[in-house]
Amino acid sequence: MGQVTLLTGPERRRRWSDDERLRILQEAFSPGACVTHVARRHDVWTALIYTWRRKFCRPEPEPGFAEAVITDEGGCRPGEERPAIVVDLARGGRVSITACAPPALATAVLKALR
């Protein structure tokens, strides 16, 4: 017969709801509380409590797209190379669309960046 090892105790990959996290944070950072004692009581690492606090205090903005509206004003002079739209890319690149660019070209560039 083979040997079977039964592991008991709390699951290591637990999922905490936002309400549970807030409750633990309030308990850990209430006046006179010790973060280490609260962490032991809830069987969680102190580093995780500090990570939760950092995330709740300074939520990171979600990346998104801005809606582009293209109008054809037709008042552009040839030789006028002033950029009307400048898009800075994540890896340091930059795309500039001049005011004289045809609306179809500007639309194609913005769709390609999506």
Average pLDDT over residues 1-24: 79
11 located within any domain: no
Per-residue model confidence as pLDDT tens digits over 21-32: 999 999 999 999
113 located within any domain: yes
Q: Is the pTM of this model over 0.85?
A: no
Q: Residue 41: is its pLDDT beyond 90?
A: yes
The answer on 101 and 79 residing in a single domain is yes
Any idea how long the chain is? 114
107 located within any domain: yes
The predicted pLDDT at position 20 comes to 93
89 located within any domain: yes
The answer on 48 and 75 residing in a single domain is no
**Can you read off the two tokens belonging to residue 113?**
């960046």
79 located within any domain: yes
DSSP-derived 3-state class of residue 77: coil
The answer on 27 and 71 residing in a single domain is no
The predicted pLDDT at position 113 comes to 74
Based on the structure, what is the number of domains in the chain? Answer: 2
Q: Treating both helix axes as pointing N-terminal to C-terminal, what angle do 18-28 and 35-42 enclose, rounded to 10 degrees?
A: 140
The answer on 107 and 72 residing in a single domain is yes
Per-residue model confidence as pLDDT tens digits over 54-94: 888 876 666 676 676 666 655 566 666 777 778 887 777 78
Average pLDDT, the chain: 80
The predicted pLDDT at position 31 comes to 92
The predicted pLDDT at position 38 comes to 95
DSSP-derived 3-state class of residue 93: coil
- Domain containing 50 equals 18-57
Distances in Å between the Cα of 3 and the Cα atoms of 6, 9, 11, 88, 105 are 10, 20, 22, 60, 70
105 located within any domain: yes
- Which amino acid, residue 9? G
Average pLDDT over residues 39-53: 93
